[in-house]
Amino acid sequence: MTKNILSLFVIVFALSGCGIPLPLQKDLVVKDINAVRQFTTTNSVFNSYVAAFEQYGKVHTGDGRFSVGDIPINFGDTENENFQGVCFEYPDGTKEVIIRESWWNGASEEYRESLLFHELGHCRLDRDHIDDAVMTSSNRSYKISLMSSIIVGPGDYSQYKSEYLTELFSQNTDELLLSLGLAVSQ
* Per-residue pLDDT reduced to its tens digit, 161-176: 999 999 999 999 999 9
Is 18 a domain residue? Answer: no
For 87, phi then psi, to 5°, come to: -105, 115
Is 33 a domain residue? Answer: yes
Is 2 a domain residue? Answer: no
* Percent of residues, the chain, with pLDDT higher than 90: 77
Task: Classify burial at 25, counting beta carbons within 10 Å of its beta carbon; exposed 0-12, middle 13-18, buried 19 or more.
Answer: exposed
* Percent of residues, the chain, with pLDDT higher than 70: 85
For 117, phi then psi, to 5°, come to: -65, -35
The pLDDT of residue 183 is: 83
Is 186 a domain residue? Answer: no
Closest CA to 113 of 175, 50, 61, 167: 50
Judged against a pLDDT cut of 90, whether residue 55 lies above it is answered with: yes
Spatial strand order in the sheet of 95-99: 29-30, 85-89, 95-99, 73-75
Is 139 a domain residue? Answer: yes
Judged against a pLDDT cut of 60, whether residue 24 lies above it is answered with: no
Binned at pLDDT 50, 70 and 90, residue 28 comes out as: confident
pTM: 0.84
The count of domains in the chain is: 1
pLDDT digits (tens, 9 = 90+) for 143-167: 999 999 999 999 999 999 999 999 9
- Tell me the CA end-to-end span of the chain in Å, nearest whole number: 46
Binned at pLDDT 50, 70 and 90, residue 15 comes out as: very low
Closest CA to 167 of 140, 135, 138, 134: 134
Containing domain of residue 109, as a range?
26-179
Angle between helices 109-123 and 47-61 (to 10 degrees): 60
CATH code of the domain covering residue 131: 3.40.390
